[in-house]
């Protein structure tokens, strides 16, 4: 006989769980006790339980772990507020297709629905934000339900799965012969059919017919490439056909950002040259991307010269959702790319797009990212450039959300996938510090850097203490512009400069003192432009946890920018970048018209 809690821990161990993130409480105590006993008995290979400042932090730590490894992040919390505090990270993971398993304690079965102490209707609350929710009401199905949770979280399009387990199920005794299966056959069959889908010779021929008719093909890839672990195949595909590529925010690193074919990020704050390439392309190949509003902007005006759009995805709901695709494939991305390369080789198909690739590289040279390099104030882009020079595209970078997030995306290089960890679709402030913690536990030997803003960092500032509690060598860089920078930018550009609730110049928070009080051996404040490089060098090379607050130019803005409801032809490059003249065929803005 085993208790439900013992079974939970057994399943986690058999699933290869290395780290659990969570916060204790009454309804999850039996399982926390079993984790403790398991770790005592397995001291050489334990499942450490990492405790954050609150449950939201646990969710983002598990997300950082999952994003940096591809393995499911594990969260274990108590009922009621413990579970509801994970709603935001669950929705965040769902929006970015991140595999997680969230185990919530629940009040005993007989108390469900009675408004018992710390009761919350988690199946109802989580049902609309998670990939799936299980409520275990039969202890005989506990093991099978947990195994099913891992299968659902990691198969198809990954996502978070919540398992709500009443306290009396955790304490119930169950014999081996009493185990019952959880029936997810319909889901498994549907996913299996998609995963078995391969490109036929006929379908492959159609794709290459479109490619042969194209003069300016462009690959537009997203986070789906990373979720599918298809970076290797994408790189081979790009190299074999010599095609230029643009990445979404979530796809950064799937192709080395320093590769000749890479035009870096497209979209609202994408590089000028990436956005210009999108405007010129006549065949857009969407791979693991979904035409998000921050990319497509005005869908009918996105990629206006693309006569054909091809779309690869594993989620049928994404095909033709925003832009109609003339050619599409639903299936495992790595296999599809392998099939196309194999078909091209077997049929001796060769293409020459060197003129187009040379042109996109000319766009890179002519319209590079830039900023105010003559200012006496510290420029955020300069700070990130200095860090990038040291880390050379090999560090794991996490961020909060806002201007600092976009500067980091623009000015950091990423040689490999899973080095760039950010909250994309949900845009959740407070993500950076806990995500860095999860990533550092997953990769103890890697340099992990959180780039944060003074607005975002406040959201989970308590987890600075978590960093030092576990002696993690995380580097936290705070770009402080005394306010919610991206909100202020929009207010200045589109709301008459009225800084409603976004200006924090009167706030008296001393962030470096907070870091020192939490045990950071390196905690400094930088205000002098002439000391940026020297300070950054000491900050990155410090052996233990380091905190650096940089007071940046409060007027610095993120450019380029495609405003809300605007098309790529209305991209603003700002005062320090070159931009093309307005397209005479489109009623667009001058790239510097707002200045």
State the DSSP string of 487-531: HHHHHHHHSTT--TTTB-TT----HHHHHHHTT-SEEEEE--GGG
Q: So which residues are the catalytic ones?
A: 55, 117-118, 167, 486
In this prediction, residues 475-488 reach a mean pLDDT of 98
Q: Of the given ranges (155-164, 419-428, 464-473, 562-571), which has the lowest mean pLDDT? A: 562-571
pLDDT of residue 295: 97
570 lies in some domain: no
Q: Are residues 132 and 10 in the same domain?
A: yes
pLDDT of residue 55 exceeding 70, the answer is: yes
In this prediction, residues 370-375 reach a mean pLDDT of 97
pLDDT of residue 413: 98
pLDDT of residue 68 exceeding 50, the answer is: yes
Residue 418's φ and ψ, nearest 5 degrees, are: 70, 20
In this prediction, residues 35-57 reach a mean pLDDT of 97
Q: Are residues 134 and 35 in the same domain?
A: yes
pTM exceeds 0.75 for this model: yes
pLDDT of residue 589 exceeding 80, the answer is: no
Q: Are residues 341 and 250 in the same domain?
A: yes
Strand 73-77 relative to strand 245-247, pairing? unpaired
Tokens of 79: 């009922």
**pLDDT-based confidence at residue 594 (cuts at 50, 70, 90):** very low
pLDDT of residue 584: 56
561 lies in some domain: no
**pLDDT-based confidence at residue 177 (cuts at 50, 70, 90):** confident
Q: Which among 170, 194, 218 is the end of a domain?
A: 194
In this prediction, residues 344-372 reach a mean pLDDT of 97
Cβ distance 89 to 36 under 8 Å? Answer: no
CA distances to 33, 77, 86, 90, 133 from 9, rounded to whole Å, are 10, 14, 21, 22, 19
Q: Which domain holds residue 467?
A: 380-551
187 lies in some domain: yes
Which is higher by pLDDT, 589 or 123? 123
Asked if residue 428 has a cis previous peptide bond (ω within 30° of 0), the answer is no
43 lies in some domain: yes
d(CA 59, CA 23): 10
Q: Where are the alpha helices (DSSP H) in 42-84?
A: 55-69, 81-84
582 lies in some domain: no
In this prediction, residues 63-83 reach a mean pLDDT of 98
pLDDT of residue 583: 61
Q: Are residues 180 and 205 in the same domain?
A: no
Q: Are residues 346 and 451 in the same domain?
A: no
Which is higher by pLDDT, 580 or 29? 29
Q: Measured in Å, how far apart are the chain's first and last C-alpha atoms? A: 74
Based on the structure, what is the number of domains in the chain?
A: 3
Q: Are residues 110 and 170 in the same domain?
A: yes
Q: Which among 342, 366, 390 is the end of a domain?
A: 366
% of the chain surpassing 90 pLDDT: 95
Q: Are residues 475 and 491 in the same domain?
A: yes
The pLDDT tens digits for 562-574 are: 998 899 999 999 9
583 lies in some domain: no
Q: Are residues 256 and 314 in the same domain?
A: yes
Q: Are residues 409 and 355 in the same domain?
A: no
Strand 2-3 relative to strand 283-287, pairing? unpaired
d(CA 341, CA 240): 8
3-class secondary-structure state, position 414? coil
The pLDDT tens digits for 294-340 are: 999 999 999 999 999 999 999 999 999 999 999 999 999 999 999 99
Cβ distance 161 to 134 under 8 Å? Answer: yes
pLDDT of residue 595: 38
Q: Are residues 176 and 223 in the same domain?
A: no
Q: Are residues 358 and 410 in the same domain?
A: no
In this prediction, residues 459-466 reach a mean pLDDT of 98
% of the chain surpassing 70 pLDDT: 98
592 lies in some domain: no
pLDDT of residue 183: 85
pLDDT of residue 342 exceeding 50, the answer is: yes
587 lies in some domain: no
Q: Are residues 51 and 149 in the same domain?
A: yes
d(CA 66, CA 226): 11
In this prediction, residues 265-284 reach a mean pLDDT of 98
pLDDT of residue 587 exceeding 90, the answer is: no
Q: Which among 176, 194, 212 is the end of a domain?
A: 194
Cβ distance 438 to 62 under 8 Å? Answer: yes
Q: What is the CATH number of the domain that holds 215?
A: 3.40.50.1220
In this prediction, residues 213-218 reach a mean pLDDT of 98
Q: What is the CATH number of the domain that holds 172?
A: 3.40.50.970
Strands (E), 369-447: 396-399, 420-421
């Amino acid at each position: 006989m085993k208790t439900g809690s013992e079974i939970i821990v057994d399943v986690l161990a058999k699933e290869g769980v290395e780290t659990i993130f969570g916060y204790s409480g009454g309804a999850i105590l039996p399982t926390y006790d079993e984790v403790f006993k398991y770790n005592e008995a397995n001291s050489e290979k334990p499942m450490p339980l990492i405790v954050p400042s609150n449950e939201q932090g646990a969710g983002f730590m598990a997300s950082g772990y999952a994003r940096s490894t591809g393995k499911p992040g594990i969260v274990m919390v108590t009922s009621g507020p413990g579970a509801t505090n994970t709603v935001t990270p669950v929705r965040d993971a769902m929006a970015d297709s991140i595999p997680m398993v969230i185990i919530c304690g629940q009040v005993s079965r007989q108390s469900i629905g009675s408004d018992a102490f710390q009761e919350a209707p988690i199946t109802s609350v989580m049902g609309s934000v998670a990939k799936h929710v299980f409520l275990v009401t039969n202890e005989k199905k506990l093991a099978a339900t947990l195994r099913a949770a891992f299968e659902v979280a990691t198969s198809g399009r990954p996502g978070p799965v919540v398992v709500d387990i009443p306290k009396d199920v955790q304490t119930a005794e169950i014999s081996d012969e009493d185990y019952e299966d959880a029936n997810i056959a319909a889901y498994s069959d549907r996913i299996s059919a998609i995963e078995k889908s391969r490109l036929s010779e006929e379908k492959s021929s159609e794709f290459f017919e479109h490619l042969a008719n194209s003069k300016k093909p462009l690959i537009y890839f997203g986070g789906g490439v990373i979720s599918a672990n298809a970076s290797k195949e994408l790189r081979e595909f790009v190299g074999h056909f010599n095609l230029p590529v643009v990445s979404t925010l979530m796809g950064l690193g799937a192709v080395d950002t320093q590769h000749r074919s890479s035009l870096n990020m497209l979209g609202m704050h994408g590089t000028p040259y990436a956005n210009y390439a999108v405007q010129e392309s006549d065949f857009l190949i969407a791979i693991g991307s979904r035409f998000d509003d921050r990319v497509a902007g005005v869908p009918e005006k996105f990629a206006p010269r693309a006569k054909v759009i091809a779309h690869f995805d594993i989620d049928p709901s994404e095909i033709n959702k925003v832009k109609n695709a003339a050619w599409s494939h639903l299936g495992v991305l790595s296999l599809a790319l392998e099939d196309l390369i194999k078909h091209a080789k077997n049929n001796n198909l060769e293409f020459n797009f060197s003129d187009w690739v040379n042109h996109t590289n000319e766009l890179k040279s002519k319209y590079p990212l830039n900023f105010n390099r003559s200012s006496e104030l510290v420029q955020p882009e300069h700070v990130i450039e200095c860090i990038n020079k040291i880390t050379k595209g090999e560090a794991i970078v996490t961020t909060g959300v806002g201007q600092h997030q976009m500067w980091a995306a623009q000015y950091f290089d990423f040689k490999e996938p899973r080095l760039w960890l950010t909250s994309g679709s949900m845009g959740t402030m407070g993500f950076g510090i806990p995500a860095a913690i999860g990533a550092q536990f997953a990769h103890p030997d890697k340099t992990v850097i959180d780039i944060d803003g003074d607005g975002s960092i406040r959201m989970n500032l308590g987890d600075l203490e978590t960093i030092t509690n576990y002696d993690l060598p995380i580097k936290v860089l705070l770009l402080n512009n005394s306010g919610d920078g991206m909100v202020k930018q929009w207010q200045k550009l589109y709301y008459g400069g009225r800084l409603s609730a976004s200006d924090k110049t009167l706030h008296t928070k001393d962030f470096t003192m907070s870091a020192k009080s939490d045990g950071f051996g390196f905690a400094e404040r930088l205000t002098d432009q002439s000391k940026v490089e020297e300070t950054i060098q000491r900050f990155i090379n410090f052996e233990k946890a380091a905190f650096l607050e940089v007071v940046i130019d409060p007027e610095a803005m993120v450019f380029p920018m495609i405003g809300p409801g605007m098309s790529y032809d209305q991209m603003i490059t700002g005062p320090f970048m070159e931009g093309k003249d307005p397209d005479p065929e489109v009623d667009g803005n001058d790239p510097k018209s707002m200045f």
